[in-house]
Structure 1
Amino acid sequence: MNHQDQTPPTSCARERLHTRSVEYNGYRRQDGLWDIEAELRDYRHYDTQTPTGLLPAQASVHHMAITLTLDDDLTVQDVSARMMSTPFGSCLEVETSLKPMVGARIGSGWRRAITERIGGIQSCTHLRELLANLATAALQTIPTWHAQQTKKQGQSPGGRPHYLGQCHAWRLDGPLVQKIYPQFHQPSQQENP
């Protein structure tokens, strides 16, 4: 069901003041690895006085990007960041701060690994935010591609899909799991007297 064309209900006129756009893209590389890219841009719709001067409307407050290179096991092989616009010159001092993430694996504990390896003043809060959510894009890219390839070859994907039990639609006692993955369906306690 698609609700994206709906306008949020409001009873009063509004003026847009701030826009944050974030985009994630997943790429399969010829060398067998994967690049997951994230880009963030913040800008205001009015001129803003900042500690370093006047920032004109539509000019980026933040504009940064990350490329995370992963293997099939979702282990970080390389990472790079680009900070095209930052509010302060000192922000650029941490542009290479993500390198300690090499060797970390996306999965349980991913956010904890980010905090432990590049938390606090070791990096940039916006880069950490992008990195944390790169995990979802990686999971949408890599396991999904592999599952589609397996289906194309007429094989049945093995094991329990990672997304089962992770949201309301894919709850283990729900009708979707019962229909599509009956082998993993777990009736709720209410269904079992």
Structure 2
Amino acid sequence: MLSKPAKRDLKHNRIIKGKGYKREDGLWDIEVFLIDSKTYSFKNMHRGYISAGEPLHDMAVRLTLSDDSKIIDIEALINASPYNICPQAVKNCQKLKGEFLVAGFNRKVIKILGGEKGCRHITDLLAHAGTIAYQTLWKEKTESEEKKISIEEAQSIEKKFANSCYALKKDGEVYNQYKEILIKKVEKA
């Protein structure tokens, strides 16, 4: 728990919510939602007036993934934004189809959708989608004792988690424990 804060007055609230689903057809859906609101009302040059508690930003992203984390489909939606033009930025998200959620994905998102090519908040949601996908598919890919996998699948999984965080650095204990799990799961040729 964080320490007790100094006396303060809340001005901004951001809610980010993410969910991961296994679909009936075997694919995966990863959904991420963002809502920004202020605790005060204010004028806005495109929307006129935004009331306290009314969303300044209300956005969502859904990625449909294959078992190997390939983006099969993507849907992005901007329900509320400070500028009328913002919803047009989501069309560029389609350029992510065919990409993989693996190490380096966030850099690729910035390259494809960064700056004037996209919406900063949507790119933030895509970063969250990557970690939610990782958490959603992880157990399915690594801990199902009954399911054997090919060496190619094991290499793909290993590539996704190698050096993805401090705990999973390649020269670390946790990384080596998971690598052993993958080795045991590889089908005997």
Matched, 1:70 2:46: no
Task: Name the counterpart of 2:81.
Answer: 86
Which amino acid is 1:14 matched to?
R
1:45 is matched with 39
Task: State the SS of the aligned residue for 1:113.
Answer: helix
Counterpart mapping for 1:91-130 below 5 A: 91-130=86-125
TM-score, normalization by structure 2: 0.79
CA offsets per residue over residues 32-72 of structure 1, 9 Å max, x none?
A: 11110000000011112222322110000000000001101
**Large movers: runs of 4+ above 3 Å:** 154-178, 180-184
Name the structure 2 match of 1:35.
Answer: 29
Task: Give SS of 1:121's match.
Answer: helix
State the secondary structure of the residue aligned to 1:95.
helix
CA distance in 1, matches of 2:49, 2:8: 24
1:173–1:114: structure 2 CA closer, same or farther, 3 Å change rule?
A: closer
State the identity as a percent: 28
C-alpha distance in 2 between matches for 1:156 and 1:93: 42
Equivalent residue, structure 2, for 1:17: 11
Higher relative contact order (CA 8 A, sep 6+): 2
Which residue is 2:187 aligned to? none
Task: Confirm whether residue 58 of structure 1 aligns to residue 56 of structure 2.
Answer: no
Query: By how many angstroms is 1:154 displaced?
Result: 7.8
CA distance in 2, matches of 1:66, 1:20: 16
AA of the residue aligned to 2:71: V
Give TM-score scaled by structure 1 length.
Answer: 0.77
Verify: 1:138 aligned to 2:130, yes or no. Answer: no
Higher-Rg structure is 1
Q: 1:171 to 1:118 in 2, by over 3 A?
A: closer
Number of residue pairs the alignment of both structures matches: 175
SS in 2 for 1:93: helix
Distance 2:55 2:125 in 1: 17
Tell me the distance in 1 between the aligned counterparts of 2:130 and 2:171.
26
- After TM superposition, give the deviation of residue 114 of structure 1 in Å: 1.1
Displacement of 1:128 in angstroms is 1.0
Q: How far off its partner does 1:177 sit?
A: 6.1
Give, in whole Å, the separation in 2 of the partners of 1:122 and 1:175. Answer: 40
How far is the alpha carbon of 1:155 from its aligned partner? 6.5
Superposition CA RMSD, Å: 2.7
Unmatched 5+ stretches in structure 1: 1-5, 185-193
Higher normalized helix content (fraction of residues): 2
Q: Structure 2: 5+ residue runs without aligned partners?
A: 182-189
